[in-house]
Structure 1
Amino acid sequence: MATAAKRNPARTTLGSALRSIRREREWSLAEMAAKTGLSTSSLSKIENGQRSLTYDKLVELAESLSVDISRLFSAGPVPSGLAHFAGRRSVQREGDGFEIQAGVYTYSYLAYDLMRKRFTPVLMDIHARSIDEFDELVRHEGDEFAYVLEGEVEVHTEIYAPLRLKVGESVFFDSKVGHAYVNAGDGPARILCIGSEAGVRGDGVIQFAQDHLGE
């Protein structure tokens, strides 16, 4: 089962953020289920840290709740005055970030506290050893850039032959093309992935992998 992991005990989890939204709106689990399309049992598991969601599902959840994606990473409402704040910054410390474990990948989202980013940086640990571990290739609007930090990675797409990348090598591609990353080395594999959804959303949201949990 995929779970949300947090190295920093004080950091907000998806479950606590979702519970905060539900309490602010004075909704029962059943009422939130009707708004989001998730079952009451799924929502209960998320709130109690027994289940997580991959980023594409977080995007859908944020849209169904009419909140910015960053609201799912914070314990309280974001002041509206910060939505277009100039000169903002986000500092990432060792062990910080919003981490989701989802089978084929582990995602560690950087600068997760900033709203309406023009791009989204993510550290991805690649666990899949074969393309057969994916139900389908991932597609989303915008562009994607991947830089290999550790190990060897094979990039599969629906257009090109598999591309092998080593540490220090990178690839930039149109992310509307179906794609997936596979660990092609003997040890761990990690990439820095930067994606955008130009012209689609104002918060820099990107979708990476299908939710292998199902509803």
Structure 2
Amino acid sequence: MKQDDDALDTLVRKRIRALRVALGWSLDDLAARCYLSPSTLSRIETGQRRIGLDQLTAIARALGTTLDQLVETVDDEDVVIRPRHDESRGVSTWILSRGPGTQGVTVARMRLTKPARPDAMNAHPGHDWFTVLSGTVTLLLGERRIVVETGEAAEFSTMIPHAFGSDDGPAEILCMFDHDGRRTHLHQAP
């Protein structure tokens, strides 16, 4: 357990320094913002001084982050995002956000190889958003058939029955789904 505590302590110190440097701040700049002396901050960053909770809170606030973000442990054993293939739907999916993002939004990259099918249209609460990275995508939205080209984006209410797929060859899209969109569009990928 002591080794884990030491690793987290070292990580927090590195984060403090990295955030300070990323903001272009000197020790004096950060010290003025969190009401600590530059020498205290220097000793905190280098591990020559223990960090008090009150100091850590002030430092996090000054750096524009939260205490939770500053001390969170990160499981970075596997940082590679591998695709999930669903051959029957003609979709490969890379879920780019680990866990629910801001307000439950999930970001995914999808490679579509089959056309949109009217019998696959679905409706659910919320909104979907996608931008076409390559190829052409057909969006079936209610009674409409909308062609979305490379570089274009679409945003629509998902209460309207909808489906999307590639048009004339593979297409790649970057999507944002709310909770219901994630459940509807991503659940079928194995």
Match of 1:190 in 2: 172
CA-based RMSD: 3.2
**Residue type matched to 1:100 in 2?**
R
Q: How does 1:52-201 map to 2 (within 5 A)?
A: 85-86=68-69, 96-102=80-86, 103-104=88-89, 105-112=91-98, 114-115=99-100, 117-118=102-103, 119-131=105-117, 135-159=119-143, 161-185=144-168, 187-197=169-179
Match of 2:50 in 1: none
Give 1 or 2: higher helix fraction: 2
> Normalising by the residue count of structure 2, what TM-score does the alignment of the two structures yield?
0.50
Which structure has the larger Rg over C-alpha atoms? 2
Match of 1:41 in 2: none
Closer, same or farther: CA 182–106 of 1 in aligned 2, 3 Å: same
Identical amino acids, percent of aligned pairs? 19
Closer, same or farther: CA 210–156 of 1 in aligned 2, 3 Å: farther
Deviation, structure 1 residue 210: 7.1
Q: Bigger relative contact order, structure 1 or 2, given CA contacts below 8 A and separation 6+? A: 1
Deviation, structure 1 residue 96: 2.6
Closer, same or farther: CA 174–126 of 1 in aligned 2, 3 Å: same
Aligned length: 115
Closer, same or farther: CA 106–212 of 1 in aligned 2, 3 Å: closer
Unaligned runs of 5+ in 1: 1-83
